[in-house]
Structure 1
Amino acid sequence: MYELIQLTEQSYYIQNPSKIGLVRLKDTDVCLIDSGSDKDAGRKVRQILDAHGWRLTAIYNTHSNADHIGGNRYLQGQTGCRIYAPGIDCEFTRHPVLEPSFLYGAFPPRDLRHKFLMAQESDALYLSKDVLPEGFTVLPLPGHFFDMVGFRTPDDVVFLADCLSSRQTLDKYQITFIYDVAAYLNTLEMVCSLTAKMFVPAHADAAETIAPLAEYNISKVLETAEKILSFCEEPICFELLLQKIFTAYDLTMNFEQYVLVGSTVRSYLAWLKDTGRADAFFERNMLLWRKA
């Protein structure tokens, strides 16, 4: 864990549950792509920087999930680096309580106000083309989260953030977090067409080709949509539908899984309704869903 893996002359990643990109810029200057899950991750990154005599100039966050921005505050405090985050995700990075609040749909109970869902706040600035290092390109990757992006480095390594899950993860859990299903599918279709010297998804192995994994992710999204529709043959309320999904996928309900899977199922239902495959109606003051 926290092993530094060199991919090309300039581009590296730090192995941890959410891969951290590291790119050498000039002389001893480096930047990071994301910062890990917490203060401890930040410390491990700082040790790597110190061991190589590198100076951290900036952190470019792909999105604002806590496991990608958790090291921000520590590293910014230690190095004075700047932090950039895209669009709406910049506000979540500056005000991390927004993530559990969004997932829960209200002020979150203490069970959800912890580092897994709520990082420490950091002084993030809006990501724009003019703040990128020379030769960097931003790749919009919406769908998993609000304004998530990836990055292509000057030596043609593409960091893909959370737009892909590994086959092992998909086969084990079946359903992964998605905010906007339509945007997510469009992102995966785009990723299928990408070429690069190396691809680095945050939660899957680095690889020279990415299309097969992107196609497998697409198939799992469509499979999950069909599973949800199969439970809506007769009108069903959301809580009962969620219970059936947890049971079918052999998942264990707790507060974190309730909001993460629950939010994802609501996103699927919104997409199915918007595409005419599901209907929603109210009966006896209860919202019910059914297959169209």
Structure 2
Amino acid sequence: MYELIQTGEKSWYIKNPANVGVYDLGGGEVCLIDAGNDKEAGRKILKKVTEAGWRVSCIINTHSNADHVGGNQFIQSRTGCRVLSTDIENAIARHPELESSLLYGGYPYAELRNKFLLAKPTESTEEIESALPPGLEIIKLPGHYLDMIGIMADDGTCFLADAIFSADIITKYHIIFIYDVAKFLATLEMLERLKAKIFIPAHNEATTDIKELIAVNRAKVHEIAALICDICAAPKSFERILKEVFDHYGLTMDHNQYVLVGSTIKSYLSWLHDSGRLNIEFIDNEMLWSRVKEC
């Protein structure tokens, strides 16, 4: 863990639960792509970079989930580096309480105010469009989160954030967090055409071919959609649908899983409704979802 692995003439990544990219800007300065999940991860990342003889000039946050921005505060406080991302992801990095509020759908109760859902706030951020270091290109990767991006380096290394997940993660957890299912699928389609020498997903080993991973991710989305349609053969409330999804996959519900999986299932319900496959009814002051015959 926290091994520095070279992937191109100017690019490396630090292997950890959410891989962190390193791009050599020249003159002893580097740009990090993401920053780990908390202060301790930030400390280890900065130590690894410093031992290699580099200074952190900036951090690019691909998106503002806590496991990608949790190390921002520590690294920025120690180095004075800039933190760059898109406008909405910057806002959540500066005000991380927005993430747990978004997932829960209201003010998060005490058990949801934990480091997995609530990163330490980033002191200052900049809009990436006007501050992107030379040699790097932004790739739009919507779907997993609000305005997630990837980064293509000029040496052919492509940092893919959470656009695709490993087969092991999908097999173990089944439900990967998705904010917008339609955009997630569109991003997978775009990735099939994307050319790079090597791809670095945040939650998978670096690879030169992502087609198999794309297929696994896409198949699981359609599997879950079909499951929800089957569950909704008779009208069901959201809570009932969520329980049946957990039971089907043998998942264990806790506070974090309730909001992460629950928010994702709500996104599936929205997608299935908007695409004409689920109906919504209000009966006896209860919101019920039911399958359209053609689902």
Shared fold (TM-score greater than 0.5)? yes
Structure 1 counterpart of 2:84: 84
Structure 2 counterpart of 1:224: 224
Letter aligned with residue 236 of structure 1: K
C-alpha contact (below 8 Å) 2:82/2:126 kept by paired residues: no
Q: What percent identity do the matched residue pairs reach? A: 48
Letter aligned with residue 244 of structure 2: K
Structure 2 counterpart of 1:74: 74
C-alpha contact (below 8 Å) 1:85/1:124 kept by paired residues: no
C-alpha contact (below 8 Å) 1:101/1:107 kept by paired residues: yes
| Offset of residue 172 of structure 1 | 1.6
Structure 1 counterpart of 2:32: 32
| Offset of residue 269 of structure 1 | 0.3
Structure 2 counterpart of 1:183: 183
| Offset of residue 210 of structure 1 | 1.0
| Offset of residue 110 of structure 1 | 1.1
Letter aligned with residue 113 of structure 1: R
Letter aligned with residue 42 of structure 2: G
Letter aligned with residue 40 of structure 2: D
More displaced stretch, 138-147 vs 44-53: 44-53
Letter aligned with residue 290 of structure 1: S
Summarize deviations over 1:3-45 as a string: whole Å, max 9, x none.
1011112100001000000011112010100000000011111
Structure 2 counterpart of 1:51: 51
| Offset of residue 135 of structure 1 | 1.9
| Offset of residue 195 of structure 1 | 1.3
Structure 1 counterpart SS, 2:222: helix
Summarize deviations over 1:135-158 as a string: whole Å, max 9, x none.
211000000000000000111100
Q: Runs ≥4 in structure 1, deviation > 2 angstroms?
A: 123-130
CA distance in 2, matches of 1:266, 1:187: 20
C-alpha contact (below 8 Å) 1:85/1:93 kept by paired residues: no
Structure 2 counterpart of 1:111: 111
CA distance in 2, matches of 1:7, 1:102: 35
Summarize deviations over 1:192-224 as a string: whole Å, max 9, x none.
111101000000111001122112211110111
| Offset of residue 123 of structure 1 | 2.5
TM-score (norm 2): 0.97
C-alpha contact (below 8 Å) 1:65/1:99 kept by paired residues: yes
TM-score (norm 1): 0.98
CA distance in 2, matches of 1:126, 1:49: 22
CA distance in 2, matches of 1:70, 1:38: 4
CA distance in 1, matches of 2:128, 2:22: 19
Structure 1 counterpart of 2:250: 250
Structure 2 residue 261 is the aligned partner of structure 1 residue 261: yes
| Offset of residue 87 of structure 1 | 2.6
